[in-house]
Amino acid sequence: MSDLLVMLFGKPMGIMLFQLLSATQYTIYLSAIAFAGGGLIGGLVTLARISGQKHLRRFASGYIWCFQSVPLLMLLFLSGLGVPRLMGQDVDPWISAMASLTIYASAYLAEVWRGAIQSIPSGQWEAGRALGMRFFAILRAIILPQALRVALAPTVGFSVQIIKGTSLAYIIGFQDLMNIGRRWANAPVDGTEPFIVFPLMALIYFALCFPLSRFALYLEHRLGTIGKTPPAATA
Amino acid sequence: MFKLFRNLAIAAVAAVGFISPAAADLSDVLSSGTIKIAVPENFPPFGSLGASGEHEGYDVDVAKLIAKDLGVELEIVPVASKQRIPYLETNRVDLVISSMGANPGRAKSIWFSSAYAPFFSGAFATGDMAISSPADLAGKTVGLTGGTLEDLELTRTAPKSAEIIRFGDNAATLAAYASGQVDVLVTGNTVAAGFSKQNPEKGIETKFIIKESPCFIGVKKGSFDLLQWVNVFILHKTLGGELNTLSEKWFGQKLPPLPVL
């Protein structure tokens, strides 16, 4: 693969492209892990946020407020550089990046999903209770299918933010696309000046993010866009 | 419920394993089979990314020699200046070979080996300028990189009529001197040597030395065996001429006598 690129573009461009593309896989892995983990934890926090118990609601509120206020960069600093300094022991950049991005994603996704669930008219909840269903049953059968349509666009929009957020992980030494690209841009090698490397990286990030947005559009068409569904009957 | 707690506890214990073990001293390095060495991310000719996509430079070559003599795999960790000491203290790297000068402040946190590379910061200008001490800089424009050793020194010793212009990094300082923006270049000898090679028509020469600051290898505090080994390594390579060969390759000068700690 690297030989093919070197043959096509010559050194050092071919080698640089190969390194950038191999580093992109780590960006993809980190984004996927952050989205999955953040989605899981965000889902739990959403449940706590809309639950009947006051203390659970307060805890979820506090969690969301805290991690929406803290910049992602600071989370990365604290976990990747602060903790090693305090404990005197190295923390693997992977662990630190995964933890920071997961927490960051969970706070934002929880808020998006809470908004989607609360946008469903309360008549739906009442109808479910009238049928004798309990909280989780109503959620699963009635509320979530409707909330899905509302939540789809912001969730995918945020997953694009996650991909861009992974670019901050270079601070803690995480070897992703941004880190490798910066290294080449700073290198005193002809043909790898910043004005060549950074547009290339922008293209790669675009190639990662654009399909996601198109996929969201496709899903929205499949599920029926919000304007086309008739409003739910309210008492 | 108990099962949940038990599984969480197992996961927590397993997660601890992700934190890298402290491969700090010589025996740990030898048994793990890999040595992690920090080298300059972008400071030619000590260390920088080469056209082949691999890091190359004087420090990188010294690191390769160390790994060869130890008989272990080498893992190069390119670092920025600020990261050198933290990475060493938190065991992310075992050695720091990154054009590091020794001073009492740093010595509070880490141990230093004997010097392995020459480095001095000085004032450079063309032959026709008669400058032999900071006082001769009166009325001239001086270009240097902000925040460096030479910046601190010259700010103290230069006369008031000398105009000191500080730039963000070495590249900007050199560009300013090449374009004639400044009369005198104040920087490290290796940077000036590189500039000389690329612009021989400028004919710059060393006017006076501001600070001798040879480079030392950084070792984590407490890794006594590793420190002793590194010092023997430096002695052996100095006497054997390998360091001299590297010095001529990367600095274009013979290895001068270096201080021994």
Write out the H or E segment, with its range, that includes residue B42: none
Where do the structural domains in chain B lie, given as residue ranges?
A: 22-118+214-250, 120-212
Q: What value does the mean pLDDT of chain B take? A: 84
Domains B22-118+214-250 and B120-212 share a fold: yes
Q: What is the mean pLDDT of residues A89-117?
A: 93
CB spacing of A188 vs B18 below 8 angstroms: no
**Contacts of B25 by beta carbon, 8 Å cutoff, 6+ apart:** B222, B223, B224, B225, B226
Name the token pair of A49: 């946020």
Best-predicted range by mean pLDDT (A219-223, B137-141, B242-246): B242-246
How many other CB atoms sit within 10 Å of the CB of residue A183?
23
B81 at the A interface (CB within 8 A)?
no
Quick check: helix, strand or coil at residue A192? coil
Mean of per-residue pLDDT scores for chain A: 89
pLDDT of amino acid B21: 47
Homologous superfamily of B120-212: Periplasmic binding protein-like II (3.40.190.10)
Predicted local confidence at residue B103, as pLDDT = 81
Segment A70-97 mean pLDDT: 89
Check pLDDT > 80 for residue B259.
yes
**Cβ contact (<8 Å) for A187 and B42?**
yes
- For residue B189, report the phi and psi dihedrals to the nearest 5 degrees: -65, -35
pLDDT for residue A4 is more than 80:
yes
Which residues are paired to B37 by β-bridges? B76, B95
Residues 6+ apart with CB under 8 A from B119: B99, B101, B188, B189, B190, B212, B213, B214, B215
Residue B61 has pLDDT above 60, yes or no: yes
Q: What pLDDT was estimated at residue B230?
A: 94
pTM above 0.90, yes or no: no
All residues of chain B having their beta carbon less than 8 Å from the beta carbon of residue A183 are: 41-42, 49, 78
Superfamily of domain B22-118+214-250: Periplasmic binding protein-like II (3.40.190.10)
DSSP bridge pairs for B79: B40
Spell out which residues of chain B touch residue A94, defining contact as CB-CB under 8 Å: 18
* pLDDT number for residue B20: 46
Least confident of A57-61, B55-59, B161-165, B251-255: B251-255
Range of weakest confidence among A1-15, A123-137, B85-99? A1-15
With CA atoms as reference, report the closest residue to B66 among B97, B111, B110.
B97
pLDDT digits (tens, 9 = 90+) for A184-209: 888 878 888 888 899 999 999 999 99
pLDDT computed for residue B69 by the predictor: 94
Confidence at residue B19, expressed as pLDDT on a 0 to 100 scale: 46
Give me the pLDDT at residue B93, please.
92
**CATH value of A2-224 in 1.10.3720.10, 3.40.50.620, 2.30.30.100, 3.40.470.10:** 1.10.3720.10
> What is the torsion angle, in degrees rounded to the nearest 10, for the CA atoms of residue A105, residue A108, residue A110 and residue A113?
-120
- Tell me which residue has tokens 């910043």: A194
Cα gap B224→B226, rounded to integer Å: 5
Kindly compute the dihedral angle of the four CA atoms of residues A110, A115, A119, A125, in this order, to the nearest 10 degrees.
40
* Mutate which: B90, B174, B191, B223, vs A, most A CBs within 10 A: B90
Give domain limits for chain A. 2-224
Look-up: residue for tokens 């090698």?
A189
- Sort out which chain A residues have CB atoms less than 8 A from B94's CB and list them: none
- Cα atoms in the Cβ-side hemisphere of radius 13 Å centred on B17: 4
Predicted local confidence at residue A235, as pLDDT? 54
Residue A9 with chain B: CB contacts under 8 Å: none
pLDDT tens for each residue of A19-54: 999 999 999 999 999 999 999 999 999 999 998 899
Candidate from B53, B83, B86 with C-beta closest to A19: B53
- Residue A137's identity, in one-letter code, is A
